[in-house]
Chains A and B, each alone.
Chain A
């Protein structure tokens, strides 16, 4: 079944740790996205990719980085987590205008 997966679903970590949030899709979509969502707020685009070896920063400034070495995989890395990074991170993919979202990773940095 074609789908989009995110791991871990929940992560509680201490300040200064390096973390990687995983995102994989089995739909063969060329475009992939990372959004940040805080309670009651809009989804904010932080990174996107239109294909392998293509990554761009989104509208919301983020200290995270991404890579796109394989079509199906779009991991997000924080080199040194801080409490201000506490949020929900949503990964999405699309072939045209319709974006399909993963279940999200809820990150808490203590």
Chain B
């Protein structure tokens, strides 16, 4: 079983929709949670970084962490065609330990 599970999609939504992207994990020691966005033929770029359980908001993006359920989510409000990309969740236990990535969810927002 993988340490981090992420539905690969593709997820296709109309412009303006609210998008929910999710990851589940098995290692209860994970403390740091990140969401990366990766456009085709580019490197991932960091979108959101959270440390504790709860919500963190940045513009149209909200990251949610539920450590008791080992579940993290990224919500995108008022989705735009420019949001079309692959979204990768990543997490780590802390210190010098390494980031563990999900396989990514491909999102397509159509006008």
Contacts and interface: CB of A to CB of B under 8 A. Distances in A.
A binds B: yes
Interface of A: 4, 6, 40-43, 45, 48, 50, 58-59, 90, 92, 97-104, 106
Interface in B40-86: 41-46, 49
11 contacts: A41-B103, A42-B2, A48-B98, A50-B96, A59-B98, A92-B43, A99-B99, A100-B46, A101-B36, A101-B45, A104-B43
B25 interface: no
Contacts of B36: 101
A42 B49 contact: no
* Size category of the binding interface on chain B: 20 to 34
Contacts, number: 47
Given A101-B45, A103-B43, A106-B41, A45 B103 contact: no
Contacts of A40: 8, 103-104
Contact of A43 (B8, B96, B101): B101
Contacts of B92: 97
Contacts of A6: 43
Contacts of B88: 43
A103 B42 contact: yes
A98 B44 CA distance: 12
B34 A101 contact: no
- Sort A-B residue pairs by CB-CB distance and give the 4 closest, nearest first: A101-B43, A43-B101, A42-B101, A42-B103
A94 to B, nearest CB: 9
Given A40-B8, A97-B32, A97-B92, A102 B102 contact: no
A42 B41 contact: no
Contacts of B98: 45, 48, 58-59
Nearest to B102: A42
A104 B45 CA distance: 12
Given A97-B32, A103-B43, 6 more contacts: A40-B104, A42-B4, A45-B98, A45-B99, A101-B43, A104-B43
